[in-house]
Amino acid sequence: MSEQGAAAEAKASRGTRPYLVLVALVVGLLAGTFAQASGDGVREPLIQVASYVGGLWLDALKMTVIPLIVALLITGIAAGAEAARAGRIARTSIIWFVIVCTSSAIFGAVMMTLLTSAFPLPASAGQALRTGLAAIDPSTASAPIPSIGDFFRGIVPGNVIASASNGDVLPLVVFTVLFALALARIASVRRQAVVTFFEGVADALLVVIGWVLYIAPIGVFALGFALGASAGGAAFAGLAHYIVLVSVIGILVTLWGYPIGVLAGRKPFGEFAKALISPQSVAISTRSSLASLPAMLGSARALGVREQVADVTLPMSVALFRATGPAMNAAVAFYVASWMGYQPSIGAAIAATAVASVISYGAVSLPGEVSFISSIAPIAMALGAPIAPLALLVAVEMVPDIFRTLGNVTMDVAVTTAVDKSTEEG
């Protein structure tokens, strides 16, 4: 993704817009809850209108998902491959990124499954939410669970265009990853031409997402009204439950950075924790890893990280590495599956976890409202869970997004210390 595209989307996500979306959700849920008291002659027509308006906005979000997956994966993998050719420090950084992202995806999937089992949403609230979401989008009904044989048979696409059309994310991701890796084997001029093309596609699609998010208060209000009118107070309980559990995942990933800094980076715990205070403060206030980069560079130097390592690994981290992304994105998808009463097969769970890991390589370093749908919808689709709930959850993403950025910044510095130690000349 180019700097121009990042700047355009960062502007769309700043200011009061996220707060307006949150207010629209709360007002819509309250209005819908009050509408429950009116007769069906009033309530049902209002639900139909709200569902129609909200459904249009939801479709506008959905339409960018498949092409954006392809564009961001190609540009992200190409950028990683280019960086890996830059030298030992870059290669070591990429290895750390892959290890952490893969581990993060597995952690998020497993931990959310455990959390929803240990602290489930009350059955009555879950049923009310499923009924309300079904009124908004009939596709929220669970699809038949494929067998393990069907899962492995479907990994390699017989027709990649058909896979994209049908929303079969895993085979599409497999093809896109192979295509992106193949680009590294062709002439530099031709490779750059293809990558530049997909960078332009990604930038344009992110601008479209910015336009869709600009009218998010209208769409979210309509969806919130329809949900509130059908589910009542259960909608608030479900959203609060979601925020707490997903935020816990972000906190745990943040804490994971400390052992990496202490054990792999060989830094004293107190010194490491003290150095992180400044970038963590910036991360909480801005929800942007990019804005936290100067503070991270200062922390790395305070920890004695060699300048050539900090100047390579930290900018690469901001561009390519989001440690909390795979964990929290997988957690959201698995939460939605639990929310909708869907029990994914082992094959679907493996597919979703793999997609959560790989899709993070193409994610953009922007506040979560912008990349929320494009990053999580592919995981939910691979899991077999509906993506309609994401249009509501994006309204409360500003809370978990604080923990996303906090964990990313903490892990960026931690991995940088580990790279510094592992590339020392012995």
3-state secondary structure 81-110: HHHHCCCHHHHHHHHHHHHHHHHHHHHHHH
Could you tell me the pLDDT band of residue 196, with boundaries at 50, 70 and 90? Answer: very high
Inter-CA distances, 277 with 175, 218, 405, 407, Å = 42, 38, 14, 12
Q: Indicate whether 278 pLDDT > 80.
A: yes
Q: Give me the pLDDT at residue 194, please.
A: 92
Q: Give me the pLDDT at residue 209, please.
A: 83
CATH code at 220?
Answer: 1.10.3860
- Give dist(CA 181, CA 390) in Å, integer: 31
CB 311 within 8 A of CB 301: no
CB 183 within 8 A of CB 191: yes
Please name the amino acid found at residue 381: M
Comparing 143 with 309, the larger pLDDT belongs to 309
CB 50 within 8 A of CB 391: no
- Give dist(CA 174, CA 355) in Å, integer: 9
Q: Give me the pLDDT at residue 351, please.
A: 86
Q: Which two tokens stand for residue 282?
A: 């910036």
Of 60, 71, 69, 9, the C-alpha closest to 202 is 71
Q: Which two tokens stand for residue 126?
A: 């879950």
Count of positions (residues) in the chain: 426
Q: Quote the percentage of the chain above a pLDDT of 70.
A: 87
Burial 20-43 (b: 16+ CB within 10 A, else e): ebbebbbbbbbbbbebeeeeeeeb
pLDDT in tens, 219-268: 889 888 888 887 777 888 888 999 999 999 999 999 999 999 999 999 99
- When mean pLDDT is compared over 8-12, 194-198, 258-262, 395-399, the highest value belongs to 258-262
Q: Which two tokens stand for residue 375?
A: 């990053």
- When mean pLDDT is compared over 132-141, 211-220, 270-279, 335-344, the highest value belongs to 270-279
Burial 398-418 (b: 16+ CB within 10 A, else e): bbbbbbbbbbbbbbbbbbbbb
Q: Indicate whether 185 pLDDT > 60.
A: yes
CB 253 within 8 A of CB 328: yes
Could you tell me the pLDDT band of residue 149, with boundaries at 50, 70 and 90? Answer: low
Written as one string, the DSSP assignment of 244-286 is: HHHHHHHHHHHHHHHHIIIIIS---HHHHHHHHHHHHHHHHHH
Which burial class, exposed, middle or buried, applies to 315 when counting CB atoms under 10 A from its CB (0-12, 13-18, 19+)?
Answer: middle
Residue range(s) defining the domain that contains residue 346:
3-422
Alpha helices in 147-233 (DSSP H): 148-153, 160-166, 169-183, 188-214, 216-231
Could you tell me the pLDDT band of residue 8, with boundaries at 50, 70 and 90? Answer: very low
- Give dist(CA 197, CA 193) in Å, integer: 6
- When mean pLDDT is compared over 123-132, 259-268, 347-356, 369-378, the highest value belongs to 259-268
Q: Which two tokens stand for residue 163?
A: 């896979």
Q: Which two tokens stand for residue 307?
A: 């300048």
Could you tell me the pLDDT band of residue 146, with boundaries at 50, 70 and 90? Answer: low
Inter-CA distances, 394 with 176, 180, 209, 243, Å = 26, 29, 13, 11
CB 233 within 8 A of CB 239: no
- Give dist(CA 125, CA 228) in Å, integer: 12
Q: Give me the pLDDT at residue 6, please.
A: 45
Q: Which two tokens stand for residue 31?
A: 């209005």
- Give dist(CA 283, CA 289) in Å, integer: 6
